[in-house]
Amino acid sequence: MAAKDIRANGPAHVAIIMDGNGRWAQMRGRPRLYGHQAGARRVREIVESCPSLGIRYLTIFAFSTENWKRTQAEVTGLMTLFRRYIQKEAQELLQNGVRVRFIGDRDRLDPKLVEMMRRLEELTEANDLVHLTIALNYGGRDEVARATKRLAREVAAGRLDPEDVDAETLAHFLDTCLLPDPDLVIRTSGEARISNFLLWQSAYAEYEFTPVLWPDFTRDHFAEILDNFGTRERRFGAVSA
């Protein structure tokens, strides 16, 4: 790998809204699930490119709390795909130094899938090279609501004084409590919206929208976006130095 690939002022945490699988399949006259399968294969290349691109945290949006509105066939197909992904990739992820975490509400997921998620987290928990977080049945508003519920329980139990609650307190109850905020959020497929992804955490993230459909998104596309990130000035509300 080329030394120039290592980016000194690149983003440490990149989050990706992997969009466009359905359109990719449609363009080929194939069912949507065919696009999801192609999309799942893309994940490996992008995860594997992280160390050489200087990315320590990668968070990917796999299934939103709103995606249940799709046909039962598509939802079932996606759930099967998630199980297969875990089965197929577990050893590779372990050997590549990837620590996997899942965010989102597990209560509505099949217990068998939830158990596989838990085991993959446990299997890779000693890894530290790349922190891969998979957002599955994830919604930003749902996450904040669940966090608030947990926070309220602490208050009700007398363990937390409402007067002490600030932004940091709430962040502590989010699914992402162990992760830094994303520096860069990428969305593929040309849509320029957030679709309920990491609402709280992306307060100061940079955004990049690319027309490339997720199953076509390569390491080179990724590297190009990261190059562009290096030229941005992030001010976080202050004025230029």
* Residue 11-30 contact track with ligand IPE, rule CB under 6 A, x = bound: ------xxxxxxx-------
How many C-beta neighbours within 10 Å does residue 195 have?
14
How far is it, in rounded angstroms, from Cα 19 to Cα 187? 7
Q: Which of 5, 9, 19, 181 is catalytic?
A: 19
Nearest residue to 103 (alpha-carbon basis) of 151, 140, 156, 66 = 140
Q: Note if 67 is an active site residue.
A: yes
Nearer to ligand IPE by Cβ, of 27 and 177: the residue is: 27
* Nearest distance from C-beta of residue 42 to ligand IPE, angstroms: 11
How far is it, in rounded angstroms, from Cα 26 to Cα 45? 23
Given a contact cutoff of 8 angstroms between Cβ atoms, the answer to whether 214 and 39 are in contact is yes
Q: Which of 5, 9, 21, 67 is catalytic?
A: 67
* Token pair belonging to 148: 């608030």
Task: Tell me which residues touch Mg ion (CB under 5 A).
Answer: 19
Q: Note if 19 is an active site residue.
A: yes
Given a contact cutoff of 8 angstroms between Cβ atoms, the answer to whether 234 and 204 are in contact is yes
Chain mean position to CA 40: 13
Of residues 181-210, those binding ligand IPE (CB under 6 A) = 189, 191, 193, 195
DSSP state of 65: T
Residue 65 binding target from ligand IPE, Mg ion, none, CB below 5 to 8 Å by type? none
Of the listed pieces 57-65, 145-153, 218-226, 229-237, which binds ligand IPE according to CB under 6 A?
57-65
* Residue 59-78 contact track with ligand IPE, rule CB under 6 A, x = bound: --xxxx--x----------x
* Nearest distance from C-beta of residue 239 to ligand IPE, angstroms: 35
220: enclosing H helix or E strand: helix 219-229
Chain residues binding ligand IPE by CB under 6 A are 17-23, 61-64, 67, 78, 189, 191, 193, 195
Looking at the annotation, which residues are catalytic? Answer: 19, 67
